Copies of this chain bind each other. A is one copy, B any other.
Amino acid sequence: MANITKKVSWSSRADESGATGEGTPLLNGSGQPRYCRQVPLRCCDFLLCFFLLCLSLQDSLRGRLKEIPHNEKLLSLKFESLDYDNIENQLFLEEERRMSYMGFRCLEISRWVVCGLIGFLTGLIACFIDIVVEELAGIKYRVVKENIEKFTEVGGLSISLILWVVLNSIFVMVGAIIVACFEPIAAGSGIPQIKCYLNGVKIPRVVRLKTLVVKVAGVICSVVGGLAVGKEGPMIHSGAVVAAGVSQGRSTSLKKDFKMFEYFRRDTEKRDFVSAGAAAGVSAAFGAPVGGVLFSLEEGASFWNQMLTWRIFFASMISTFTLNFFLSIYHKNAGDLSNPGLINFGRFESDSVAYNLYEIPLFIIMGAIGGLLGALFNKLNYWLTIFRISYVHRPGLQVMEAMLVAAVTATVSFTMIYFSDDCQPLGPDHTEEYPLQLFCADGEYNSMATTFFNTPERSVRSLFHNQPGTYNPLTLGLFTVTYFFLACWTYGLTVSAGVFIPSLLIGAAWGRLFGILLASITATGSIWTDSGKYALIGAAAQLGGIVRMTLSLTVIMVEATGNVTYGLPIMLVLMTAKIVGDYFVEGLYDIHIKLQSVPFLHWDAPATSHWLTAREVMSSPVTCLNRIEKVGTIVDILSNTSTNHNGFPVVIQGADGDEPSKLCGLILRSQLIVLLKHKVFVELARSRLTLRKLQLKDFRDAYPRFPPIQSIHVSQDERECMMDLTEFMNATPYTVPQDTSLPRVFKLFRALGLRHLVVVDDENRVVGLVTRKDLARYHLGKHGLEELQLAQT
């Protein structure tokens, strides 16, 4: 039992760096492996894990469910920030000054190469996922179909049901076990995590190779397992991991250093590449390269840089092209570049989707419905997530829940299909992939089965494009309701899966229903008869109502439909859905980010925060270091778990001790750690430096997993030495006066992607330090400006 303990949040285990946030204790427990997922991935582990989870379930059933209290009005101190501001110390400046113009050109070229690689690999991964899912799902559906056909005649369909349930549960179990035991951060779509990363919050283990492997395997299992999930969301996370890996030219997990791209081993560069990776993921998922770029910019960018955007676009293009190319080979139609993404909305011809001005109010109504349903979805999921955080926090329970959902999904689907008497004639072109005849007459198939007995991507496409009359309203209505609750229950399970496709499917179903009802109350033959158009609008409305993305989602939808005509309606619908939804509750991703108490910075400071100044928001007093500081003092400061910060202003004392000390630089914990590790001390007595001069390379080699201070041994003699920080500190940190208003501080901080902002008085003396958590804790609540509590959750 010792191996399975609670895992609540993304950050339950602090990063190995040991530096766990701008103000958190360094110690995170004993050095022993406490988690099942730390056990190397071997075959027998599966059995062990399964055994353990059964044990854990027993425990739980014996009434040992423990509640973990949860408070939303908290901001966790566990999360570190990324540093988007270059550390311009002497070492860095010397290197830059040594570099020739050609050197910069070569760097630029390698950036392009890296982006090309990111796109290529992301496309390959998408392709791999798609093919494996197609093959496995094909096998599953064929087996079940044959079985159903066998038993339809002779009776005993309950055996088919059990077969279906068991097949689904096994897939989902495997998917849930690898996520729950080996890498819990791989659960869900990964979009909230990537949003946070791009926003500048360091989520532990989010861009590791292991996460990628678990994510890919997990998403295959959960999609094949028939859950109400999509494989698109996780692509964004996968692309980001690929980017973080490729750009660093090494794998810390595999202990392999290719000695390439060493220049890119810092947060600034890495974050740029991760933006490209996320964009490449979106691009591969939806065949939407421009949408991908806009997604990255919307979620991540603060300072817009033309060349960066262009590189992101390049990665996106390569990604969709790679996917398209390999899928065309797989479909034995090499060169036919008609599968730009994992989800393919099919072709909307301009003629069939023409709309009129007077339809726009209808679209807006649909947007409002989407917003309402989205808010309901989010609210239900919010309660469910709170429940999960409180009670379902053991891997065993999590796997059991996932299997339960899989079984219920299969049962509900089967029941719906079984009791449905909506028979439709088989089309001449056999557009149905797995038509289930069931109790229908020969030459007909069960219409309910086209939506349930199919991968969700295919169901969406059928809803968009099938001829009017393919579905009857009751089928659609029932499907919408059941799928809505199933999808809501599914999101947040400990499996890797996305919410895009289920949302689209729900929306397409009620959209089509809306279209059919509209057609039935108006004259036949009018423009209303094309219910596929309403399915598209419904899909957009529902998705917008749940995720509340705006510009990028519009472009993604437009690119996925391949038709620019629909831009304006989709935009209006998304806007309405957002406005209506925001009135009730936030977007799904934001809810999950908030539930993890992440210090997320929005675009602007809260509107009514002009009365706050830097003096009020800053943390003070600040631990400052002298330019030449005693090693013992530094070690003590770094080891102090109650006052620890990650950035320390460096000050210079006046000639006589009386004069106030002026700010002269800023140094980071990670830099100090490297300095201590390499023992860059000055022995005052002999006044000599250590022989080896520290290089930027030493800092880059340690990046990003800096060792904790506890792992560095400093002898008593060494404690008496001095350390000269002049060369290593950032000599020109950004500063603001004390009276600066919060919006102004916020703008500076956000635009430049800072991690620490020093507040000085009018004599240039340090009076405080503004960090991410100081800004993130102010937010607009129902009663005006609210302040979140900081906590060590």
Contacts and interface: CB of A to CB of B under 8 A. Distances in A.
Interface of A: 86, 88, 93, 96-97, 99-101, 104, 287, 289-290, 293-294, 297-298, 301-307, 309-310, 313-314, 317-318, 320-321, 325, 335-338, 340, 347, 350, 354-357, 550-551, 554-555, 558-559, 562-565, 567-568, 571, 575, 603-604, 607-608, 610-611, 652, 662-664, 731-732, 734-737, 739-741, 744, 747-748, 751-752, 760, 762-764, 780, 784
A451 B575 CA distance: 44
Nearest to A291: B290
A358 to B, nearest CB: 9
Contacts of A350: 338, 347
A571 B317 contact: yes
A391 B158 CA distance: 93
A683 B61 CA distance: 85
A610 B96 contact: yes
A652 B761 CA distance: 14
A320 B350 CA distance: 16
Contact of A764 (B287, B664, B762): B762
Contacts of A604: 305, 307
SS class, residues of chain A in contact with chain B: mixed
A563 B86 CA distance: 41
A464 B739 CA distance: 62
A425 to B, nearest CB: 29
Given A97-B611, A290-B290, 13 more contacts: A88-B741, A88-B744, A99-B608, A101-B780, A290-B558, A303-B304, A306-B550, A317-B568, A317-B571, A338-B350, A732-B739, A748-B752, A751-B751
> What is the total number of copies of this protein in its complex?
2
Contacts of A764: 760, 762-764
A268 to B, nearest CB: 11
A659 to B, nearest CB: 11
B571 A313 contact: yes
A747 B737 contact: no
A48 B180 CA distance: 86
B551 A309 contact: yes
A737 to B, nearest CB: 5
A624 B304 CA distance: 34
A411 to B, nearest CB: 40
A34 B658 CA distance: 65
Given A304-B297, A335-B357, A610-B96, A739 B747 contact: no
14 contacts: A93-B741, A290-B558, A293-B551, A302-B304, A307-B604, A310-B550, A314-B571, A335-B354, A335-B357, A337-B354, A338-B350, A663-B762, A762-B764, A764-B764
A564 B568 contact: no
Q: Which residue among A568, A734, A747 has the maximum number of chain B CB atoms within 10 Å of its CB?
A: A568
Contacts of A321: 568
A211 B778 CA distance: 46
A325 B306 CA distance: 34
Contact of A100 (B325, B551, B554, B608): B608
A88 to B, nearest CB: 6
A700 B34 CA distance: 64
A8 B294 CA distance: 41
Given A564-B287, A564-B340, A744 B732 contact: yes
Top 6 closest A-B pairs, CB basis? A104-B607, A96-B610, A732-B740, A304-B304, A751-B751, A764-B764
A652 B735 CA distance: 19
A548 to B, nearest CB: 11
Contacts of A555: 290
A610 B94 CA distance: 9
Contacts of A603: 305-307
A603 B308 CA distance: 10
B732 A736 contact: yes
A443 to B, nearest CB: 32
A565 B337 contact: yes
Contacts of A356: 335
Nearest to A527: B335
A306 B739 contact: no
A748 to B, nearest CB: 7
A104 B752 contact: no
B763 A662 contact: yes
